[in-house]
Amino acid sequence: MIVTIVLGSGAAWESAAMRVLDAARQVAVLKRCVDVDDLLAVASSGQGDAAIVAVESPGLDAATLARLHGHGLRVLAVVPPPSEFGSDAAAARAVAVGVRETVRSDRLETIPALLAGPAPLAGSQVASADVADPGTAMVGGGAPPGGRGRVLAVWGAAGAPGRTVVACAVAAEIARRGRLVALVDADPYGGAVAQTLGVLDEVSGLLAAARAQTAGRLEEQVGSVVRGLSERLAVVTGLPRADRWPEVRGEVLEELVEALRRRADVVVDTGFCLERDNADPGRPGRHDLTLAAIEVADEVLVIGSADPVGLTRLARAIHDLREVRADVAVRVVVNRMRPGLGWSERDVAAMLGGVDVAAVAGVAFLPDDQPACDRAAISGRGLLECGESSLTRAVESLVSDLGVDGARGPRRARRVGRRVGLQR
């Protein structure tokens, strides 16, 4: 009899797995644990033979896996089924924390047979016939047209003009048109993309990319740093805390974007400052990530808010951007347009008349649609998942102006896996 411990962390597959285990004659369930601490406590009793765990369980890291193996437990991690992005990233996380065996959540009936078979040796690769190698993540949809995806940097001056909301919405709209998209959170003051989209990721994708780049393995491990949100959209989560910016150099972002663009289009959410703040060339500067994003971008969306202060900052921002990189294509996005200002789009364009219009590819206007933003924020979903609104229609028009074509899919994209909370 194989005695098992289950940690599903509330995943949708947990009840189905319990039914499979209960029906198996050679398997007995010792306990259904509520968290990693509970799992370790039961494991320490020495009564279990195997643990079936959700790969995204909070606290499931390399140290936890080492302790479980030390108690003699065979660990089987459940991962999402294959998709353009999600399954490879989950399998890569399993590899990173030390899991030796995985099973797809739509192949739960194979668990008893897997447990009855021989266990893989320590140090072996993850054993699963159904999960692709992490190095092949994001390749399922084929290379982008021309072999290189387009890189859009979403940038704007200080004052919270809405960079993250615009970056998330633009990436989702591009994905809805049938293109593979990677959304990278590169804000050196602490990322908000994960919180905006309701993503729980115990390991920051950006920090994971920095570690892989240091080891010279970022290209082969790029699938392990992305988190799948839908069949066409993935995210590289940002810094969990603002004080961790020294861990990611600008070179990391440049190499990461280059690896991603060979597989997909890339949208980068940046910081606000373009000052070169490192007095010592050998040490990273806080704004190096933002400068690197501008350097690798094919086009920059410069975001500004539609109010006197925001428009003043926007005009100065375009000038500052041109000093950093004069050759990049620039598209201005005036955000939060609202009737209470008493200004029309023509009025705002006239106020920006002092800007070198020859250096700007176009000007787009996004309405101040607070109800749509509130629905998305409260539910932890993207704007496009919350139904059509004046803001989503404006984003659709913006993406069309960017020249992104393709068949438009349903506005409510299906998530890969389950949304389980906010990044800590």
107, 255 contact by CB (below 8 A): no
Q: Which of 155, 107, 169 is nearest to 318 (CA)?
A: 155
pLDDT tens figures, 145-161: 667 899 999 999 898 89
Q: Could you tell me if 187 and 238 are in contact, meaning their C-beta atoms sit under 8 angstroms apart? A: yes
Q: Give the tokens for residue 3.
A: 């005695």
Residue ranges and CATH numbers for the domains of the chain are 2-136 (3.40.50.2300), 145-401 (3.40.50.300)
* φ/ψ (deg, to 5) at 383: -55, -40
Count of alpha carbons within 13 angstroms of residue 100, beta-carbon side: 18
Which of 37-46, 233-242, 246-255, 269-278 is predicted with the least confidence, judged by mean pLDDT? 269-278
Q: What is the DSSP string of 42-103?
A: HHTTT--SEEEEETT-TT--HHHHHHHHHTT-EEEEEEPPP-SSHHHHHHHHHHHHT--EEE
Nearest to 367 by CA among 341, 334, 396, 397: 334
Which pLDDT does position 129 carry in this prediction?
Answer: 39
Mean pLDDT value of segment 118-133: 53
**Does the pLDDT of residue 274 top 80, yes or no?**
yes
Band (pLDDT 50/70/90 cuts) for residue 281 is low
Q: Model confidence at 203, in pLDDT bands (50, 70, 90)?
A: confident
Q: How confident is the model at residue 86 (pLDDT cuts 50, 70, 90)?
A: very low
Least confident of 3-17, 353-367, 384-398: 353-367
What's the rounded mean pLDDT across residues 376-390? 86
Q: How confident is the model at residue 259 (pLDDT cuts 50, 70, 90)?
A: very high
Phi, psi of 268 (to 5 degrees): -115, 120
With cut-offs at 50, 70 and 90, classify the pLDDT of residue 417. very low
* Mean local confidence (pLDDT), 178-184: 95
- Taking every pair of Cα atoms in the chain, the longest distance, rounded to a whole number of angstroms, is 78
Whether the Cβ atoms of residue 155 and residue 294 lie closer than 8 Å to each other: yes
- Nearest in space to 298 (alpha carbons), one of 263, 255, 258: 258
Residue-wise pLDDT for 333-379, tens only, equals: 999 999 888 888 888 888 876 665 556 778 899 999 999 999 988 88
Higher pLDDT, 303 or 422: 303
Does 124 have pLDDT greater than 70? no
The reported pLDDT for the residue numbered 146 is 66
pLDDT of 96 reads: 73
Query: How distant, in Å, are the alpha carbons of 151, 294, 299, 312 from that of 329?
Result: 11, 10, 5, 21
Question: Is the pLDDT assigned to residue 131 strictly greater than 50?
Answer: no
- Output the CA–CA distances (angstroms, integers) from residue 416 to 169, 217, 224, in the order listed: 18, 26, 16
Type of residue found at 48: G
* Nearest residue to 263 (alpha-carbon basis) of 99, 145, 363: 145
Average pLDDT, the chain: 83
The whole-number pLDDT of residue 202 equals 62
Residue 245's alpha-carbon distances to 46, 124, 253, in angstroms, are 42, 34, 12
User: Within a 13 Å sphere around the CA of 70, how many CA atoms are in the beta-carbon half?
Assistant: 9
Length of the chain: 424
